[in-house]
Amino acid sequence: MQTRPSLTPLVGALPEMVPFVGPEAQERSRGKPFRARLGANESSFGPSPRVVERMAKVAGDMWMYCDPDNHDLKEAAAAHLGVSPENIVIGEGIDGVLALVARMYVAPGDAVVTSLGAYPTFNFHIAGVGGRLLTVPYRDDREDLDGLLEAVRREKAPLVYLSNPDNPMGSWWEAGEVQDFIEALPPTTMLVLDEAYGELGPASALPAIDVARPNVIRTRTFSKAYGLAGIRCGFAVADRRAIRDFEKIRNHYGVSRMAQIAGIEALADQAWLRSVVERVAAGRMRISAIATQNGLKPLPSATNFVTVDCGHDGAFALKVLEGLIARDVFVRKPMAPVLDRCIRISVGLDHELDILAEELPKALAAARGG
């Protein structure tokens, strides 16, 4: 006899899971905090002082609802990118935008193409609408553009996901290669081009924005280079028809008043952004040096993290990760085959990288059984 309301068949069949186990959950289970938080690809450098000052000034105004149109932030984002506000939609980080994209373009049973080991939250949202996920292995530690294209054509997929620069490997394709991929896609396939790390990589990796193309949605975030991961705010750039379609289903009160104000101020302080990009580049060099000193191979990175090849298999890399966590250093690792030989270390503050330099040799020794 049924004793509780029934879920829909789709939701009832889904596993009880979340894409990530956050550092806070790990700290609760460990009963103590991490000394170095180097796993979530946040910006330890924080937001611009201008942003912090403005947020403090408007804190008392939070009794008001946010602007459901996100008008001022859309205007600021559009001016920053040189497009019309009608080409911008604001969301609760890129994750919020991805949830809407999944609902907009994927019907139950539809094939959706991504890379094996790429951003798991995208996969989570595709499962949530009943999509059939098809994964293409990385090639030479980069997302395989030819393989993605072949899968799209073979399956007549309505949606394909590509991140550039890439998480979790930190790799990237140059703009010309991405543009060739875009032009080769069937016009009926929507590309989500995730550019969460776009500000941190070479400018040559970002194709010119073409809002006349109807099958590309490009996503940006305030969580990485702008140092505002905690406010959950991002946006997408697309042709006007696609943006109007977002309006049909988006959560119009989903982006808080504080997030909208912080985003506007962050975009206005490009000098701070440039300083962060420089500090991130220096941090990547420091992490790479620490890895090299310990006999490991840092991979080239265009993000705010360095993926480090531990030189053995996934089981060994997992031991290294567990050894670092046991020594209060929070890092993460790819879990897909081949990629799982690596650990991923976010750029942190100087004292956090000092801790990494001290504890990595011990974690490696423990992993090797010494």
Question: How many Å is the maximal CA-CA distance in the chain?
Answer: 64
219 within 8 A of 97, measured Cβ to Cβ: yes
Domain that holds residue 307: 21-46+271-367
Does residue 219 share a domain with residue 88?
A: yes
β-sheet with 190-194: strand ranges across: 88-91, 234-237, 216-221, 190-194, 159-163, 111-115, 132-136
Q: How much is the average pLDDT of 310-328?
A: 97
- 230 with 304, same domain: the answer is no
pLDDT tens-digit readout, 146-164 = 999 999 999 999 999 999 9
Are 74 and 195 part of one and the same domain? yes
pLDDT for 20 equals 80
Domain for residue 6, yes or no? Answer: no
CB 165 within 8 A of CB 200: yes
Residue 7 lies in a domain: no
Shared-domain flag, residues 263 and 291? no
Tell me: the pLDDT tens digits for 253-311? 999 999 999 999 999 999 999 999 999 999 999 999 999 999 999 999 999 999 999 99
Q: Is the pLDDT of residue 1 over 80?
A: no
Q: Please indicate, yes or no, whether residues 228 and 115 belong to a single structural domain of this protein.
A: yes
Residues 229 and 361 grouped into a single domain: no
**CATH code of residue 154:** 3.40.640.10
317 pLDDT tier (thresholds 50, 70, 90): very high
pLDDT tens digits for range 227-237: 999 999 999 99
Residue 41 CB coordination number (10 Å): 22
Q: What is the pLDDT of residue 99?
A: 97
Both 77 and 148 in a single domain? yes
369 exposure class (CB count in 10 Å sphere: 0-12, 13-18, 19+): exposed
> What is the reported pTM?
0.96
Both tokens assigned to 327: 């020594």
Mean pLDDT value across residues 333-351: 97
Domain co-membership, 200 together with 225: yes
What CA–CA distance (Å, rounded) separates 367 from 370? 7
Model confidence at 89: pLDDT above 80:
yes
User: b/e for 60-91, b at 16 or more Cβ within 10 A?
Assistant: eeeeeebbeebeebbebbbeebebebebbbbb
State how far the Cα of 316 lies from the Cα of 342, in Å rounded to an integer. Answer: 9
- Asked whether the beta carbons of 290 and 360 are under 8 A apart, the reply is yes
Q: How far apart are CA 229 and CA 121, in angstroms?
A: 15
CA distance 183 to 61: 46
- What's the chain's average pLDDT? 97
Q: Which long-range contacts (CB under 8 A, 24 or more apart) does 12-15 make?
A: 14/127, 14/128
Helix ranges (H only) for 211-251 are 240-247
Last residue of a domain, one of 253, 268, 283: 268
Give me the pLDDT at residue 370, please: 63
pLDDT at 18: 74
Domain match, 248 and 290 both: no
Q: Both 171 and 298 in a single domain?
A: no
Query: Would you tell me the crossing angle of helices 145-155 and 175-184 to the nearest 10 degrees?
Result: 10
pLDDT at 2 over 80: no
Read off the pLDDT of residues 193-206 as tens digits, 9 standing for 90 and up: 999 999 999 999 99
Number of domains the chain is built from: 2
360 lies in some domain? yes
Q: Please provide residue 265's backbone torsions phi and psi, each rounded to the nearest 5 degrees.
A: -65, -35
CATH number for 320: 3.90.1150.10
Query: 99 in a domain, yes or no?
Result: yes
Q: How far apart are CA 83 and CA 92, in angstroms?
A: 21
In a domain, 233, yes or no: yes
Instruction: Give yes or no for residue 109 having a pLDDT over 80.
Output: yes
The pLDDT value recorded for residue 19 is: 75
pLDDT tens digits, one per residue of 7-37: 999 999 998 877 788 899 999 999 999 999 9
Say how many residues make up the chain.
370
Are residues 350 and 244 part of one domain?
A: no
Q: Is 118 helix (H, G, I), strand (E, B) or coil?
A: coil
Tens-digit pLDDT profile for residues 30-85: 999 999 999 999 999 999 999 999 999 999 999 999 999 999 999 999 999 999 99
Same domain, 237 and 301: no
* 10 located within any domain: no
Q: Which of 215, 249, 268 is the last residue of a domain?
A: 268
pLDDT tens digits, one per residue of 209-249: 999 999 999 999 999 999 999 999 999 999 999 999 999 99
Listed residues 212, 237, 268: the one ending a domain: 268
